[in-house]
Amino acid sequence: MRRRDNDHQRLFSRRLAILGGGKLALLSLLVGRMYFLQVTESDRYTLLADENRINMRLLQPSRGRIVDRFAVPLAVNQQNYRVLITSEDTPDVDQTLERLGRIIPISGEDRQRILKEVRKKRKFVPVTVREFLQWEDVARIEVNTPDLPGISIDVGQRRFYPEGDLGAHVLGYVAAVSEEDLNGDPLLETPGFRIGRSGVEKRFDLPLRGHAGTSQLEVNALGRVIRELARQEGQRGHEVVLTLDMELQRAAVERLGEEAGAVVAMNVHNGEVLTLASTPSFNPNTFAEGLDATQWRDLVENERAPLRNKATAGEYAPGSTFKMVVALAALEAGVIDESTEFFCNGKLKFGDGLFHCWKREGHGKVDLIRGIRESCDVYFYELAKRIGIDRIAAVAERFGLGQSLDFDLPGERKGLIPTKDWKQAMIGERWAKGETLVAAIGQGFVLATPLQLAVMTARLVNGGKAVTPHLVRDLPQGNNLVARDEVEAGPVGGNPRHLALLRQAMLEVTNHPRGTARQSALDSEDVQMGGKTGTSQVRRITKAERATRVRKNEELEWRQRDHALFVGFAPADSPRYAVAVVVEHGGSGSKAAAPIAKDIMQMLLDRDPARTAPGVAARPSTQLADDV
C-alpha cells in the first residue's frame, strides 16, 4: 500500500514538473516576444503608430515658366481658389453637395462628375468641386464650414498666358488629368493638377512639372487635421526658354489680321525660329479653365481652323516657291546652264495635254534668271520634261521638303514630295509624265508646310548647309532639360555657283522692274531682300474660264480662291534671315503674301535678334510677377 502511494506521488511530481516547465517555457516565449516587439521592433511600431496619427499629403510643385528669347514671360502661374470635398470626412456626399449648391452654383453635370470621381478615388483623396472661385465665394463657403463636413478651400495655381492668343499654337495649353493619363504617379491624382495637352506645354511637360513636396499633418481619430508637423516644399519645374522674339510674333499676327495663314522666320545659320505665327488662333487661358460645349463647337466648326498650327501642320501646294528646287535639279543634272533659253508663248502642248503659263500671252525667250524672276511656268515645264520627277524629289528632300524636321512641337506634318514609286505604292497607278510638269510648278501631289518652306529657303541661301529649325534652347531628358548641342550643320550638297545663281534670281524677284514681287522691295538703299512669290490653285480652272478670263479671286467664294505664298531672305549680300508666308485663299502671292514678308523682314533687320543670345534680356520688357 505504501509503495503504491509512493508511486502516485512520484507520478504527480513528474507531471507537476512537466506542467511547470511548460508554463516556464510559455512565459519565456511571451517575455521574449514582448522584448522583441518593444525593444527590437520599437522603431517599426512607433512608425506604424505615427502613421495612424500622421497624414502625408503631396504638395503640387509650381509649373515652370515659359519665356521668349528676351525673358519675356509667356506662361506663368497665378493663384487659383478651389473648393474640395473629401468623402471620408462627410457622412453623406450628396447632402453636402446639396448644401454647398445653395452657396455657389453646381450644375447637374458637375455633380455627376464629382460623384463619379468620389466613387473611383480613394476616400482620403480630395475631389475638386469648383475652381477659379472669386474671393466673395471663398468667404461665403468659409463662413458656412460647420454645416459643410468634408468641404475645404484650397489655394492652388492656375496656368496663365499673358500674351493670350499670340503664341497659343506654340505654347499649347494645359488641361485636367484624364483616366488615360493615370500611370500610378500620385501627383496626377491631386486635385486640380494639370498636364500639357499641346505645343511646348505637352512636348516639355515632364521638365515643366517639377517635383512634388510633402506635408505631414497630425490628424485625430476621425481624420480631421489638428496641425501641420512638417513641410517640405516641392521643386519648381524647369524654365523653358524659347528662341521666339515675341515682338516679332505680335507683328506677324497683327499683319496677318483676319486672314487664315502662317508666318515663319528663322536664322539661316543656326536654325533658331524667331517667329512661328498661325492665324486665326485661340486663347489658351480658356482651355486652362475649361471650355464649355458651345466654345468647343465654335472652335471645331470654324472653317478657318483656329486649332490647327498652320505653320507646322498646314500642308499646302507650294506653287512657284518650289521652282528653285526644280531649277537646281536641272542645273545639277547638267541639262541646262544659266544661259539656256526656252520660248514661252503662254502654253505648252505635251502628249494629250495643254499646259498653260500664268501669263496668257507668254514671256517670249526665257533663261533661268528670268524664269524665276518672272515665274514663267513654261520654262519649268521644259525643265521637268528633261529631268523627271525622281531627280526633282531627290533635291527637294535634301532641302527639307517631304520629311519630318524633328521640330520641337508635336503634330508636325511631313508634307509630300511624290516619286514614281510613291504613286505606285500609295495609289496603285503608274506615274504619268504630265504629272511631272504639274509638280514642277509646285502643284499636283506636291505639299509643304510653311516651316519646311522657310528651311528650304535657309538652305538655299546659307551656302548649302543642312540647318534644322528649333524653337527651344534646351532639350527634354526625362524630368530635366539638357543643353542643345551646338553642332555646325553639315553640307546639304549643291554646287556653290548654282546656289549663287539662284540667290541672284531671287534677288531680282523683289528688286528688278519686272520681278513678280517688285512692289515688296525693302525700303532701304543699303539692304535688299530676295524672294519668290507663289500662287497655288485649290481647284481646277475650266476651259471656259480661261477663254473668258473670268477668274478673279476676289469674285470667288473664299474657299475657291488661290493660296498666296512668299519665301524670302535678307540681307542679300550676307543672308541672315529667311521668312515664309502663306495666306490661305489669299489670291496672289505678290499681293497678299509678299507685303507681309516685307514688313516682317524689315522688323527682323531693325531688331536683329540673331545678335542676342536666347534667354538674355537685351531690352526693357514688362515682367509679370509669377505665382501671385
The HSE-up count of residue 40 (CA atoms within 13 Å, CB side) is 7
Other residues' Cβ atoms within 10 Å of the Cβ of residue 221: 7
Residue 39 DSSP SS3: helix
135: which 3 cell numbers?
474671393
Distance, in Å, from the CA atom of 248 to the CA atom of 605, rounded to the nearest integer, reads: 11
DSSP 609-628: GGGS-TT---S---PPPS--
Residue found by looking up cell 516644399 in the block: 233
Q: How far is CA 189 from CA 90, 125, 185, 225, in A?
A: 20, 8, 8, 20
- The answer to whether 202 touches 474, Cβ cutoff 8 Å, is no
| Helix H or strand E encompassing 483 | strand 480-483
Considering the candidates 320, 375, 520, 590, report the single residue annotated as catalytic. Answer: 320
* Greatest Cα-to-Cα distance within the chain, rounded to the nearest angstrom: 151
The answer to whether 286 and 295 are in contact (CB under 8 A) is yes
454: β partners: none
Phi then psi for residue 209, to 5 deg, are -65, -45
Angstrom distance (rounded) from CA 19 to CA 32: 20
CA dihedral 369, 370, 375, 376 (to 10 degrees): -120
Helix axes 323-333, 450-461, angle to 10 degrees: 40
Active-site residue flag, 62: no
From 76, 140, 132, 129, select the one nearest 103 (Cα to Cα).
Answer: 140
Residue 431 vs residues 383, 389, 428: alpha-carbon distances, Å: 17, 9, 10
CB burial string 485-517: b at 16+ within 10 A, e below: eeeebeebebeeebbebbbbbbbbbbbbeebbb
Residues 6+ apart with CB under 8 A from 176: 192, 193, 194, 290
Residues serving a catalytic function are 320
